[in-house]
Amino acid sequence: MTNSMGTLFRITTWGESHGPALGCVIDGCPAGLPLDRTDLESALQRDVPDRLIGTPRGEMNRCEILSGVFAGRTIGTPISLIVWNNDARPASYDSARDTLRPGHADFTWLARFGHTDYRGGARASGRECIARLAAGAVAMKLAEMVGVRFSSRPIEMAGKTIAGEDDYELARAEILKHAEAGDSTGGIVALTIRGMPPGIGAPVFGKLQADLGRALLSIGGIKACEFGEGLAAARARGSTHNDPFHFGSDGQIETTTNLCGGLLGGISTGQDITIRLVVKPTPTIRIPQQTVHVGQKEPVTMRYEGRFDANYTPRVGPIAEAMAALVLVDHLIMSGLLPPTRLRDSAPGSP
């Protein structure tokens, strides 16, 4: 199983969608970082931006810090975080028992592990991401210390481009129209990382875009990840795709444009890192679907009556920010910009 990520700043997540709780262990967080549960809970509140289209699940996302923090500061030991599930409803999946949901991970889990968790997919559920959000909140606090900031927004949902607030409402109406008919929709999320100093990352197998891509593509339902100009680079020419260099106001080397998305040779240029993520439509839908019953070994029509996220694109943004923060903090520690063991003003043991 692959539930851990990172080299020096390493996380392990655990827990299932319909179990009592989910959580994570962060190993490698330097001592001296101010941290309490309100930091984490405010990050977790970002998982429910729009309950009508995002998630009908009424989770409070209460979080507890079980280890690694004393008197409001990290102490350099593993940080253990737990987030309780308070609105799991496994019974709503009873009608789908032994029936493989098209588009979900039921069949592949069965093929790999010999069983499948019919109650929402266990760790293949979007709910698994709550532990990533908690870990990401810690990484973001560290990243902010060196001026690295993360933002994201849906730029397309249900086939509608979103430039402003009005577009969001139009897209939302389109999502709800399909949801009423029992169907789901997908979208595109734009992720921007600002304040990255130049020279962070590594060549060959340690390329920053490879590590970012791996982390972002590990989010359930993400089908593609574009950096900078992305797919459009295939149709560009060198003369139009290359970003020219110039000296900035402080004499530092900068690129005039940023079509490379802030990354060259797997290392940051110092410009914004720009990424787009393709979010596929929610697989579990109420429209009847052709599938098979594993026990009866017969074709069946699946008629699911439970809850599903009409469009989880708005939820992907904060999760993508968290994943990017986890990757970048690991690289910032490896490059020496963040300290591996203690922050300068820390007083471990006597905060």
Q: Which stretch binds ligand FMN (CB under 6 A): 6-14, 224-232, 304-312, 340-348?
A: 304-312
Radius of gyration of the chain (CA): 21
What is the 3-class SS of 182-246, one letter each residue?
CCCCCEEEEEEEECCCCCCECCHHHCHHHHHHHHHHCCCCEEEEEECCHHHHHHCCHHHHCCCEE
- List 85, 125, 152, 291, residue binding ligand FMN (CB under 6 A): 125
Residue 312 binding ligand FMN, by CB under 6 A: yes
- List 30, 76, 126, 261, residue binding ligand FMN (CB under 6 A): 126
Residue 213 binding ligand FMN, by CB under 6 A: no
Q: Which stretch binds ligand FMN (CB under 6 A): 2-10, 150-158, 169-177, 217-225?
A: 217-225
Residues 202, 330: Cα–Cα separation, whole Å: 12
Q: Which stretch binds ligand FMN (CB under 6 A): 87-95, 278-286, 297-305, 321-329?
A: 278-286
Residue 316 binding ligand FMN, by CB under 6 A: yes
Residue 318 binding ligand FMN, by CB under 6 A: no
Q: Which stretch binds ligand FMN (CB under 6 A): 215-223, 237-245, 248-256, 334-342?
A: 215-223
Site for ligand FMN in 85-124 (CB under 6 A): 104-105, 121, 124
For the bound state, the minimum distance from the C-beta of residue 239 to ligand FMN, rounded and expressed in Å, comes to 37
- List 29, 31, 129, 225, residue binding ligand FMN (CB under 6 A): 129
- List 219, 263, 320, 332, residue binding ligand FMN (CB under 6 A): 219
Angle between helices 313-334 and 129-145 (to 10 degrees): 50
For the bound state, the minimum distance from the C-beta of residue 119 to ligand FMN, rounded and expressed in Å, comes to 12
Residue 221 binding ligand FMN, by CB under 6 A: yes
Nearer to ligand FMN, 108 or 252 (CB): 108
Q: Which stretch binds ligand FMN (CB under 6 A): 32-40, 187-195, 219-227, 297-305?
A: 219-227
Q: Which stretch binds ligand FMN (CB under 6 A): 2-10, 156-164, 202-210, 275-283?
A: 275-283
Pairing relation of β-strands 149-157 and 187-194? Answer: antiparallel
**What is the binding site for ligand FMN (CB under 6 A)?**
104-105, 121, 124-126, 129, 219-221, 280, 282-284, 308-309, 312, 315-316, 319
